[in-house]
Structure 1
Amino acid sequence: MEIGKLPNDVLEKIVFSNIKKKRDEVIVRAGVGRDNAIIDFNRDLCIISTDPITGTDKNIGKLAINISCNDIAVSGGEPLGVLLTIMAPPDTTVKDIENIMIEAGRAACELNVEIIGGHTEITAAVNRMVLSATVIGKQNRNKIIDPSKVKVGDKIIMTKWAGIEGTSIIVKEMGEKWKEKLSIDEYEDALNMDNLLSVLKEGVILGKLGANYMHDITEGGVYGAVWEASKVIEKGVKIWKENIPVKEVTKRICESFDINPYRLISSGSMLAVVPSGNIEEIKENFIKEGIKLSVIGEIIEEGIFVEEMGKKENISEPGSDELYKALSKLS
C-alpha cells in the first residue's frame, strides 16, 4: 500500500464498516473529516487509559481492545469508547487492515464498547504492525476503588491462570514448531487462551464486593503485579507460590523456552486485595460466573515475599517480560 493515511474510500469500506457497536453516550463518533469524538458522561467520572500492542502482530485487533479495556475494569469502571491507532508497514495489504478491524469490531461488540475514532497509516517507520488503543470509561463517583483502605491481614486474590496472554502469543508465534513441544490438546488449549483476556466481569464483581485494590496482571507477570501492588498500597505483601494457578500447557511452554511462568505477561488475570471477611461471598459470586478464583497471599507490614515450602524469597522489581526471551529464541 502507499505510504500515508489510509484513503477515505478504504477507511469507509474496511474500517468504519466494522464498527458495529454504538453507545448512546457517544454524541459525535468516528467518521471521515471528524477530528474528535464527543461523549456525554452526565454525572459520572471519566477514566482514560492507553496501551500499545508490540509483542506480537497476530490477533492484535482483539488484543488491543481487550487489554486496553482491562485497565478501566481495575477501577471498577465501565469502558465505553476506544480510540484505535494502526501504524502499518508498506508491505501491508488492505486485507491485513480489514482483518484487524474485523477482530477489533467483534471484540468491541463483546465488551459493549464503541470504537469512537483513531488513526490508520501506512509508514516506513515501523517494520511490522503496531496498534495503540486509548480507552475512555465511566465510573460512579461513589464507587471509586481506594487503595488507602487496604489493611494488614487482607487477602490477595487472582483470577484465572498465570501467563494467559504470554502462552497465547508464544504458541501462535511458534508456527509449526509447536508440534515438537506440545500435544494437540495442549496446543488447542493454548490457542483458546486468547478468549480469556477480558477482566471486565471480575472488575464488576470485585468493585461491588469490597475490593480496595485491583490490578490487571500484564508485563512482569504475577510477581511483577505483586511488586507493583505493594508500592501502590504502601504495605508489605506475602504470596504462596503453590497457590498460584498455572495451566499445564503454560508450564510446558515455559520449560521449553527456559522462562519463568510467574514473570510472564498475564493479561486476562486480575490481582486484587480484599478484606478477609469478604472472601466467601466473593468466591460464591465467581463460582456463579464460572471464573476461577485463587487466594494467593496476604498483606503484611513490610517486605515483598514469595513463600514456598516454608522458605521465603524476596520478589524483585520487574524487568523485561519473559515473553521477549521466548520470542528472541523463535526469531
Structure 2
Amino acid sequence: MKIGKIPNSVLKEIVLDKIKGSRKEVLLRPKVGEDCCAVDFENKVCVLSSDPITGAENEIGRLAVHISCNDVASCGAEPLGLIVTILVPPTATQKDLELVMSQISETANSLNVDIIGGHTEVTGAVNRFVIITTAVGYVLKDKLVSTSGAMVGDDIILTKFAGIEGTAIIAHDKESELKDKIEKDVLEKAKSLVKDISVVKEGIIAGRFGVNSMHDVTEGGVLGAVWEVAEASEKGAVIYADKIPVLKETLKICNIYNIDPFRLISSGCMIITCKNGKDLVKELEENGIKATVIGQITEGNEKRLVLKDGYIDINEPLSDELYKVVN
C-alpha cells in the first residue's frame, strides 16, 4: 500500500463498513469526510477528534496540536483539552523529547487548550517521532456543524491559502536543499507558515455565523477536501482554479518539486459552505482572516475544477503530494 491516508474507497470497505453503532447519544459517527465524533450531553455536544502526525520531522509538536484542534473547530466547537500520545524512537535523546514537548505545550497554551492526559514511551516500532493527539471540545447542540451538511446552492469558501501546511513542512525538512534554489526571504516566510495552520478562530466564527458544513483541509489538499465535503453530503461541486488563493512561497516550492499545490496538505485553511458566502467572507475578514468564495455546491454527484481552457473531474484523494518530497 502507498504511504499516506488510505484511499476513501478502501477505508469505507475495510474499516468503516465494519463499525456498527447503536448508542443514541452518538450524534456524529465515522464516515468518509467526517473527522470528528459528537456525543449528546443534553443541551451541549461533546466533540472529539484524533489524528497522528507522521509526515513531518521538524515542528512536529506544533503540528500535532493544530491538526486535531482544527478538526474539532470544523464542527463549530471550541477545543478545550488535548490527550497526547508520543512514540519516541530509540535514537532520540532527552533533548529531542524536551523540544517536542515544549512545542506541544506552547502551542496548546496559545489556543487556550489544556493537555489533559496521554502516554509517552520509547519504542523500536518507530524510526522517528510519532505523535497522536485527541482533542476534546464542546458546542451547543443547535450550533453543531458537520462535513456532510452542504446544501445545493451553497457557496464554497476557502479560508487563507492552499498548501499552507505542506509548504511549511517542506521548507523545514528540505531547508538544506532549498537554500540554493529560492531566495532566503521566501524560504523564511515558507518556514514561518507553521504558525498559521490553526483554523480554530474561523471555525468558531463560522459556527456562530451559521453555516451548513465545514471541513479543515488536510491530506489531499483543497481538491481532496472539496471532494470529501461533496461526497459526505451526497452532492456535487464546482470550484474555479483561478479563484483559489496560493502564496508565492507555495508556488515556488511546488514548482521546484513538481507537485500540485491544490493537492498538497493544507492545514491552516478550511472549506466552509453556506448560502450567503459574501457575508461570511466579510465577517471573517473583519476578524483578520482571509477568505474567498471559490465555487458552489451543485446537484448530482459531479465534482469539477474549472480551468481557463476547460475542466477536470475532482476524484477521491490519493496519496498526498507531500509524500513525493518527504517520506
Shift of 1:310: 5.4
Structure 2 length as normaliser, TM-score? 0.84
The corresponding residue for 2:153 is 153
Cα distance in 2 for residues equivalent to 1:226 and 1:280: 19
The corresponding residue for 1:249 is 249
Q: Aligned to 1:180, what secondary structure does the other structure show?
A: coil
* Gap regions ≥5 residues in structure 1: 1-40
Aligned residues: 286
Q: Which moved more, 1:65-74 or 1:180-189?
A: 180-189
Cα distance in 1 for residues equivalent to 2:235 and 2:246: 26
Deviation readout 1:78-120 (Å, 9 max, x if unpaired) = 1111110110111211111111111111111111100001111
The corresponding residue for 1:312 is 311
Q: 1:142 to 1:294 in 2, by over 3 A?
A: same
The corresponding residue for 1:296 is 294
Pairing 1:121–2:115 present: no
Q: 1:147 to 1:195 in 2, by over 3 A?
A: closer
Structure 1 length as normaliser, TM-score? 0.83
Cα distance in 2 for residues equivalent to 1:66 and 1:195: 10
Cα distance in 2 for residues equivalent to 1:115 and 1:48: 14
4+ long deviations beyond 4 Å: 146-149
Cα distance in 2 for residues equivalent to 1:192 and 1:171: 9
The corresponding residue for 1:162 is 162
Deviation readout 1:134-179 (Å, 9 max, x if unpaired) = 1111121121125665332210000000000000000111132212
**Mapped contact 1:52–1:133 kept (Cα < 8 A):** yes
Cα distance in 2 for residues equivalent to 1:268 and 1:108: 16
The corresponding residue for 2:284 is 286
Give the partner amino acid of 1:76: G
**Mapped contact 1:87–1:126 kept (Cα < 8 A):** yes
Cα distance in 2 for residues equivalent to 1:240 and 1:87: 41
Q: Which moved more, 1:212-221 or 1:202-211?
A: 202-211
Give the partner amino acid of 2:279: E
Q: 1:305 to 1:42 in 2, by over 3 A?
A: closer
Q: 1:305 to 1:281 in 2, by over 3 A?
A: same
Deviation readout 1:206-241 (Å, 9 max, x if unpaired) = 111221100000000011011111111111100001
Shift of 1:281: 2.6
The corresponding residue for 1:176 is 176
1:32-71 equivalences in 2 (<5 Å)? 43-71=43-71
Q: 1:96 to 1:50 in 2, by over 3 A?
A: same
**Mapped contact 1:230–1:237 kept (Cα < 8 A):** yes
The corresponding residue for 2:5 is none
**Mapped contact 1:84–1:134 kept (Cα < 8 A):** yes
Larger Rg computed on CA atoms:
1
Shift of 1:58: 1.0
1:1-331 equivalences in 2 (<5 Å)? 43-145=43-145, 150-275=150-275, 278-302=276-300, 303-309=302-308, 311-327=310-326
Cα distance in 2 for residues equivalent to 1:73 and 1:108: 14
Give the partner amino acid of 1:198: S
The corresponding residue for 1:4 is none
Q: 1:149 to 1:270 in 2, by over 3 A?
A: closer
Cα distance in 2 for residues equivalent to 1:223 and 1:149: 18
